[in-house]
Structure 1
Amino acid sequence: MNSFEVTGGKKLSGTIIPQGAKNEALQILSAVLLTPETVTIRNIPDILDVNLLIELLADMGVSVQRPDRHTAIFKADNVNIDYLHSPEFRNKSGRLRGSVMFAGPLLSRFKKAFIPKPGGDKIGRRRLDTHIIGFEKLGATFNYHPEDGYFHLDASNLRGTYMLLDEPSVTGTANIIMAAVLAKGTTTIYNAACEPYLQQLCKMLNRMGADISGIGSNLLTINGVDYLGGTEHGILPDMIEVGSFIGLAAMTQSNIRIQGAGIEHLGVIPDKFRQLGIQLHYEGDDIVIPEQELYEIQTFLDGSVLTIYDHPWPGFTPDLLSIVLVVATQARGSVLVHQKMFESRLFFVDKLIDMGAQIILCDPHRAAVIGLAREQRLRGITMSSPDIRAGVSLLIAALSAEGKSTIQNIEQIDRGYQYIDQRLNSLGAEIKRL
């Protein structure tokens, strides 16, 4: 198991380019299964989760060429769908929740699919119900086989229908869209997720020959077509990395430029960091965060304590609440962080408390942060990364802390952030990979 040894207290400076969006990549890469023609994907993040998904595609017979680490050319003209029911696939896919995204394209094109119990972060319950119920409404049948731990799905006659999703699940919406694009008739999805990454998927599918309207709203209409062709697609900058770098600059009192941040796709993210008192401004598509001695958390207009909570798009993404919480520890003022969507994502705050932060964990979903206003620096400790987002939050805390910190289980960080130690070291950080 690898670790980071972090020497904190150093001011950073320079320009950093955000990687391609992990959450978009998992959807886009799954969509290559919908056509036997060539699909070229650019700006692929070079991270464990995405590389594992590409490896799984190759294992099931998809031709994969990698001109460089951020570009891949796929041709799914000889897919071995039965590989998905093999012990090898189960062992690999069990480490990656994104493998569930294969189900929609496979049902659409090959009329059957197998879904193992998903892996991924230990951040709480993540249901497959939205996926399965959506497939059933399109005419698929499924059975869970406890002896092999697989959902077996059959879709010999997919037909379009109206459905109201029980939750605006991003992966659930994407999976249902990919199942519906080749179904007979018209599918209407209400309460659909509408994240920029899902919009990217829909636009890509339309370039391949799909007929999807309502893109960007929570009401999607999909007219089934008979065939999808090849295309080229560029993945957006990762909004979670952009938010992480804004928080990093504030915590370490650094002057950082985030180049090519994809500002038009960030929604309320910059405004939430401004509510924490962080200064930032735009230069073209770059975000510049100036060195700031102290930042002060705003209050609501009536003077009450600020609450920041997650909500489906266009609300604030849950993936950045861990960053917000860490950044608030050194602000002046208080904030209540309310993590509504996952019940275990705030449990990493015990490490921040050990570092000297003033945090009250009210329950599994809420934490009250009393900012130290830099009157007391966080101190370096040894800790372990429980999930991707908490891991990089602890890394930010360690970079701002006094002394050395050791972060164990950094494979969790590597799952979501490419070469994060090298990229931050180029800004002046001191991170050693052990």
Structure 2
Amino acid sequence: MTNESFAVTGGRSLRGDLVPQGAKNEALQVLCAVLLSAEPVTIANVPEIRDVAMLLDLLRGLGVEVEKLNSDTYRFTAREVDLDYVQSDAFEDKARRIRGSVMLIGPLLARYGRAFLPKPGGDKIGRRRLDTHFLGLQQLGAQFDYDVDRNQYSVTAKKLKGTYILMDEISLTGTANVIMAAVLAEGVTRIYNAACEPYIQQLCRMLTRMGAKIEGLGSNLLAITGVEELGGTEHRILPDMIEIGSFIGLAAMTQSEITIKDVQVHELGIIPRVFEKMGVQLEIKGDDIHIPYQEEYEIQTFIDGSIMTIYDAPWPGFTPDLMSIILVMATQAKGSLLVHQKMFESRLFFVDKLIDMGAQIILCDPHRATVIGLNRRFQLRGIEMTSPDIRAGVALLIAALSAKGTSIIHNINQIDRGYQRIDERLRAIGAQIERV
């Protein structure tokens, strides 16, 4: 792993078109789902990011044939899967580094009756417990064990049986894991309190094309009738809505004129509306979003004039992955904002870097921050900083692009985990950003 940094010279207005990459969160789910069938599964619009590369490595290690058909399209054939690899040191080392590896359990358990997983890594954004995954699989009839010495989880089952499952939290990856296990279970599984993001809907559409029987798509109650086996299919990953939101924030912060191409507007839910509350003008032209140059943007207030609060919530609420972008944007807006990050308790800990840059932010507690917008009276100043997680990393990058002077952002492998060649793509529209 290289220890690279970004050197960013800010204060430039950008102009041009950006095409969002394939959705990271969807990619990690649908790539795990290829293990459910012995037939070829072709997946297009796969993002070229570190987390996906690590998952592709794990699939190859498991014996899946992975053929790269073009820059973003792969064909997977999981005819022979090597279950012994799951207990090897090589698997353990790779699976620990990527949180998405947890979604290998559902498919392996459903098809082969056993799965192992080391405690996974990923972002440092607070507790992200795995109980939801294992409780769901146990209810389907799996036996769960935790090996303290090896720090490894294992699940086994002779035959999974459909049942009623109330998810104890609305977990995206937990829901995906239980769906993938249930499609091959005997009988009917009802999953209540299921996550219903577009990512989950996409996973269900793909599984349905493979022969799964799933009802309730897009709602929080799914009914899955198990089938004997699944076939192959072709699937295209949606554009990444987190990247789309990040680009909207970037355009507003840097007073730029940017068109984001092919965004699949109908899959963005509440996201455009939240940016409009922040005072950003959005022009939706077909499937593109155009953000015109804006001298200033003013945060709306509630009807009674009180300060706007923006908080995250399970879909169809506002995604937690865009909260750091909203917070950064608020620093240069006209007006004030209360940011309430409900779902993770360490996601706001990057605000100290913004305060060092000159932003006016009061961190109320680990979940809430009040931002007093400067309305560009004082430009943020460039500093040296370190990216704590994927989403905060991009928020700090946006802050640096709007700041006066040069910023150095360390630990950018965190940004590379979720954003494909972000430096090249931003340079193409006029950003001054170098890898050092």
Q: TM-score range by the shorter chain?
A: over 0.9
User: Separation in 1 of the partners of 2:118 and 2:194?
Assistant: 24
2:398 matched residue in structure 1:
396
Hey, what does 1:208 align to over in structure 2? 210
1:183-222 correspondence runs (5 A): 183-222=185-224
CA displacement at 1:166 relative to structure 2: 0.9
Compute the displacement of 1:289 (Å).
Answer: 0.2
2:236 to 234, 237, 247: 234
Alignment of structure 1 residues 30-179 onto 2, 5 Å: 30-179=32-181
- Given candidates 235, 249, 252, the residue that maps to 1:250 is 252
Q: Deviations over 1:143-193 (max 9, x none)?
A: 100111111110112100001111111100000000000100000000111
**Structure 2: gaps spanning 5 or more residues:** none
1:304 matched residue in structure 2: 306
Query: Matches of 1:69 and 1:350 in 2, distance apart?
Result: 39
**What percent identity do the matched residue pairs reach?**
66
Q: Distance in 2 between matches of 1:155 and 1:29?
A: 23
Letter in 1 for 2:432: E
Instruction: Give TM-score, length-normalised by structure 1.
Output: 1.00
Q: Give the 4+ runs in structure 1 shifted more than 2 A.
A: none
After superposition, give the CA deviation of every residue in 1:21-59 in whole Å (9 maximum; x if it has no partner). 000000000000000100000000000001110111001
In 1, Cα distance between equivalents of 2:431 and 2:387: 19
Partner of 2:24: 22
Partner AA of 1:27 in structure 2: Q
- C-alpha deviation, 1:424, in angstroms: 0.3
Q: Secondary structure at 2:74's aligned position in 1?
A: strand
Tell me how far 1:82 sits from its aligned partner. Answer: 1.7
The reply on whether 1:370 has 2:372 as its aligned counterpart is yes
For 1:220-369, what aligned pairs fall within 5 Å after superposition?
Answer: 220-369=222-371
Aligned residues: 434
CA RMSD between the two structures: 0.5
CA offsets per residue over residues 172-230 of structure 1, 9 Å max, x none?
00000000001000000001110001000001000000000000000000000001000
Deviation at 1:118, TM superposition (A): 1.2
Q: Quick check: 2:310–2:337 contact (8 Å CA) kept in 1? A: yes
Structure 1 counterpart of 2:133, one-letter code: H
Paired residues for 1:380-391 under 5 Å: 380-391=382-393
Structure 1 equivalent of residue 410 of structure 2: 408
Deviation at 1:69, TM superposition (A): 2.8
Letter in 2 for 1:235: I
Q: Which amino acid aligns with 1:16?
A: L
Aligned letter for 1:238? Answer: D
1:78-134 deviation digits (Å, cap 9, x = unpaired): 110121111111111111000000000001000000021010000000010110000
- Gapped regions of structure 1 (runs ≥ 5): none
Give the Cα separation in 1 of the matches to 2:6 and 2:70.
27
Give the distance between the partners of 2:275 and 2:382, measured in 1 at CA: 25
